[in-house]
Amino acid sequence: MASSDITPDASPPRSPFMDWARGWMTTVDHKRLGVMYISSALLFFVVGGLEASAMRAQLSWSQLDLMEPGTFNTLFTMHGTTMVFLVGMPMLFGFANYLIPLMIGSRDLAFPRLNAVGFWIFFFSGCLLYYSSVGGEALYGLAGMPDVGWFAYAPLTAINYSPGNGPDYWLLFVLVGGIGSLATALNVVVTVATMRCEGMTPLRMPLLVWMISVACGLVLIAMPPLSAASIMMLFDRHFGSHFFDTQGGGSAVFWQHLFWFFGHPEVYILVLPGFAIVSEIIPVFSRKAIFGYPMMVAASVCIGVVAMGVWVHHMFTVGLTAGMNSFFAASTMIIAVPTGIKIFNWIGTMYGGRLHLKMPMLCCVAFLFQFLCAGLTGIMLAIAPFDFQLSDSYFVVAHFHFVLIGGLLFAIFGGLYYWFPKATGRMLGEKLGRWHFWLFLIGFNVTFGFMHIPGAMGMPRRIYTYQADRGWEIWNVISSAGVVLQAAGVCCLLVNIIRSARKGAVAGDDPWDAWTLEWATTSPPPEYNFEKPPKVHSRRPLWDLKHPDDTDGAYE
Amino acid sequence: MSQDDPADRETQAGAEEVIRLPAPTAWPIILAFGVVLMAATVVTNIVVGCFGFVILLAGAVGWWHDVFPVDQHEDVALAPEGKRVREIQPRPGQVDHLKVGEAQHRVRLPESIHPYSAGVRGGIAGGVVMAIFAVLHGVLDEDSFWFPVNLLAAVVMPGMADASLEQLKQFNGLALTVCLVVHGLVSVLLGLLYGVILPMLPSRHFLWGAVVLPLMWTGIVGATLGVVNPVLSEYVDWPWFIAAQVAFGLVTGLVVLRSEPIATLQTWPLAERVALEGRRAESEDRS
Ligand SMILES: [Cu+2]
């Protein structure tokens, strides 16, 4: 603005590829950043999946040694870290970025440049984490990658016990990645607070906007303690402080508190976007308005609040007081109430509706069943004495994979099938989609359903291998076999995405006959989203336009 | 782009409609790279960190120029006519309304219920009567007013759980507070349950409320007391206990049943109840 360019034609002609790359790297458009978040998340998802497959191969029978024990440690650390920080959270931010401005009828997020910096910090921090595989100082011939587990408990992370650079990479990754997450979460919350179009009162916002805002609010509260903790740990490792060093007067349990004060809300940071997606898809494919909208909003906020007060259920076996254990067992069980309300309301929405079992809806139905299972084992584990028995066993592993795969990932699959036409203008193939769905569904349940059994029989998580006489082999080999089906399913999804992006059926503006504002623009939407800022009169603005004789406004 | 000659842009703007959006910028990616390089100092070399700092600084300065004195923006031309969004076509008269009984929707639900407040009041009244029974038992049989209080408090007070018989008969302020809270809460909750459940039971509400439910509750307590409150289960006097329960059921049931019932949503058509549609009456008024 300030200066005018006197030689406008001086720039040399560039190759189309460079133009393309430059376009993506300098963009501040929320839709492009959303697509980049989701594509990077898919990329890391494949990496994390390969790490998991390698572990399942190693565990498929007793006394195997397909890899070094140290490699196994790096695998489970990297798998967990990748899936939580480089798949789950970017998926959240990807969907938030792409959908929230469209759904609230705005042209972009509140801070578009901050949005870009958030994405690039996430992306580079992921690169830094994986750079450890070549850059980490190898000690005792082990890889230099982090190998301390995804919650990096003290005192294992102390410099005496983990002398290589592995934990440092993990700590730096968490610290830097946290900055990016904070930036984006703040951006989303401010956008929802300030950028809504005319008539979009809080109680008219789509449920997705509500739930993702709650998740971003949780990021704002839960992330800083983790950043602080990782700085303290770096000080312990390099500058001789003793925050977590019990011999030096510190407390190793303190790390657990700080980590899980982040770690449990993180579960809801991850799964609330899943709820958000499901809450958008189920009404459209049941041809009914969502059942009990105000209750859904209240339950989401309630989950956000209660999620801050349950973290000690990860520490029942530490040996805290009975009072502590009882309090946190109770608060954990209380979370089942708002979550139960949601499950009832989703079912209430489907009840009496005209169900269209297209791919997005199929994924949501699977979500409902599997997330319910996850919730039930969650209640079991919330009972402290039960947890004493099964903490750190494969039962817990099976439980949280039901939450994160059976719940979150299936919701994300549904979201991909639902909004892919909006983002690309083309439908994802339904036939290949069904292959993906059924292969993955069966594979997932085979792997993780059966995984509860060796867990209940006492198989601890994170072991490298096990004795032959435990009776665990049969369950482990079944679990590992399921991985083959899941991998085949994911291949179908990736092929489907690549193929449909080029030659899928043309979608049109509104392929699902849906009701929220993102369908009131072209597919893909233009850079400016809407020619004129929309004006809404109810929770389903497109319904009002389609059925002017029976608008929603009268009933709200 | 924003560097265009202002006059130039005006003619452009006159020719076609434009929308002003933030201009693309490379500074965020540069700044992010600087941040990560600086962090990498710890695991690499101070040189990397210095390099990162320089990049970060460059990114920060560049960013500053992006937003100061005025935000950099670009004017994006509207999509050509044929590629704009199609206007949404109204499809009047295509909405089906759900009706009661359609597709086997359940319709047998109570048409009127007792207000929740009656349940709360009943719970409080029943709780008072029950407390009188418990204290009577304490004074008559054990010669101590505080004995039942301390026994109940033992449910959450580890100190009481290990107390001797003598201590159990003495006054303890904390135990009294705990007892009042626990007894009050449970009474109100049970009263609420009465308020909700009684109208749903087939008939003979009074029999259910005064006899069946107290006996069922006694059964549940009898089965679990050893785990929940070992002290109480050791000293409990079952005839007194059952009498107190029945008294609670009698009083609570009476208060609940004597309250004025209120109509539920059940008389509305299902579609209205599930908030799929508002009251027809209102929408007809409107049209
Ligand atoms: Cu948790």
Residue B19: strand pairing partners: B76
Q: Do A522 and B79 touch (CB under 8 A)?
A: yes
Query: Which pLDDT tens digit goes with each residue over B197-236?
Result: 877 776 677 787 778 888 888 888 888 877 777 777 777 8
- Least Cα separation, residue B117 to chain A (angstroms): 22
Residue A266 alpha carbon to ligand 1 centre in Å:
8
ipTM > 0.95? no
Least confident of A25-39, A55-69, A542-556: A542-556
Do B116 and B254 share a domain, yes or no?
A: yes
Residue B248 belongs to some domain of the structure: yes
Cβ-based contacts of B5 with chain A (< 8 Å): 4
The residue that leads in pLDDT, B59 or B107, is B59
Q: Are B156 and B173 in contact (CB under 8 A)?
A: no
Q: Is the model's pLDDT at B238 over the cut of 90?
A: no
Same domain for B184 and B118: yes
Instruction: Pick the more confident residue, B97 or A245.
Output: A245
Query: Would an 8 Å CB–CB cutoff place B282 in contact with chain A?
Result: yes
Q: Are residue B254 and residue B179 in the same domain, yes or no?
A: yes
Task: Provide the percentage of residues in chain A whose pLDDT is more than 70.
Answer: 96
Q: How far apart are CA A270 and CA A277, in angstroms?
A: 12
> Taking CB atoms and an 8 Å cutoff, what residues of chain A touch B275?
289, 291-293, 555
Q: What is the pLDDT of residue B283?
A: 44
| Average pLDDT along chain B | 79
Same-domain check for residues B120 and B252: yes
pLDDT tens-digit map of A257-289:
999 999 999 999 999 999 999 999 999 999 989
Predicted pLDDT at A261:
95
Q: Range with the lowest mean pLDDT among A173-187, A470-484, B32-46, B88-102?
A: B88-102
Examine residue B92 and state whether it is found in any structural domain, yes or no. Answer: no
> Quick check: helix, strand or coil at residue A526?
coil
Q: Are both B132 and B65 inside the same structural domain?
A: no
Determine what percent of chain B is predicted with pLDDT higher than 90.
Answer: 20
Render pLDDT for A276-330 as a digit per residue (tens, 0 to 9): 999 999 999 999 899 889 999 999 999 999 999 999 999 999 988 888 888 899 9
Contacts of B105 in chain A (CB under 8 A): 352
| Sign of the torsion angle spanned by Cα atoms A183, A189, A192, A193 | negative
Say yes or no: B148 and B43 in one domain: no
Rounded distance between C-alpha atoms, residue B254 and residue B248, angstroms: 10
Measured between beta carbons, which residues in chain B are less than 8 angstroms from residue A135?
43-44
Same structural domain for residues B118 and B45? no
Planar angle of CA B36, B37, B41, nearest 5 degrees: 115
- What residues flank ion ligand 1 with Cβ within 5 A? A 264
Q: Tell me if B241 is assigned to some domain.
A: yes
**Shortest CA distance from B41: residue in chain A:** A172
Q: Which range is least confidently modeled, A108-122, A395-409, A448-462, B135-149?
A: B135-149
Indicate if B125 and B240 belong to the same structural domain: yes
Asked, as a colleague might, if the bond just before A90 is cis with ω within 30 of 0, I would say: no
CB of A38 within 8 A of CB of A121? no
pLDDT digits (tens, 9 = 90+) for A359-368: 999 999 999 9
Q: Ligand 1: distance of its center to the CA of A378 in Å?
A: 9
92-121 in B: which are within 8 Å (CB) of A?
Answer: 92-95, 98, 102-103, 105
Give me the number of domains chain B comprises. 2
- Residue A303 CA to residue A408 CA, distance in Å, equals 16
pLDDT digits (tens, 9 = 90+) for A47-71: 999 999 999 999 999 999 899 888 8
Q: CA–CA distance from A389 to each of A320, A381, A461, A476 (Å)?
A: 16, 9, 13, 20
Kindly report the nearest CA distance between residue B234 and chain A, in angstroms: 22
Tell me, yes or no, whether B168 lies in a domain.
yes
Residue B13: inside a domain = yes
- Would you call B84 an interface residue with chain A, using a CB distance cutoff of 8 Å? yes
Residues B17 and B60 in one domain: yes
Same domain, B48 and B139: no
Average pLDDT for residues A2-26, to the nearest whole number?
70
Question: Which of these three, B57, B79, B101, is where a domain ends?
Answer: B79
Nearest-angstrom CA–CA distance, A274 and A498 = 24
Residue B187: inside a domain: yes
**The pLDDT of residue B9 is above 60:** no
Q: What pLDDT sits at residue B99?
A: 67
Range of the domain at B156: 112-265
**Looking at the domain assignment, is residue B87 inside a domain?**
no
pTM, to two decimals? 0.81
Total number of residues shown for chain A: 556
Same structural domain, B153 and B25: no
pLDDT in tens, A520-548: 999 899 999 998 889 999 999 999 889 88
Q: Does residue B14 carry a pLDDT above 50?
A: no
User: B27 CB near a chain A CB, below 8 Å?
Assistant: yes
Q: Residue B249: which residues within 8 A CB-CB, separation 6 or more?
A: B126, B194, B209, B210, B211, B213, B214, B217
Asked if the structure places residue B93 within a domain, the reply is no
Mean pLDDT for the stretch of residues A323-338: 90
CA dihedral A289, A295, A297, A301 (to 10 degrees): -160
The reported pLDDT for the residue numbered B284 is: 43
Interface test with B, best of A550, A551, A556 (most B CBs within 10 A): A550
Which fold would CATH assign to domain A27-545? Cytochrome C Oxidase; Chain A (1.20.210)
| Per-residue pLDDT at A549 | 82
Whether A89 contacts A181, CB under 8 Å: yes
Residues 6+ apart with CB under 8 A from A478: A446, A450
Chain B residues touching A175 at Cβ < 8 A: 39
Separation of CA B241 and ligand 1 centre (Å) = 40
User: Does B36 sit within 8 Å of A124, measured CB to CB?
Assistant: yes
Same domain, B46 and B161: no
Per-residue pLDDT, B100: 62
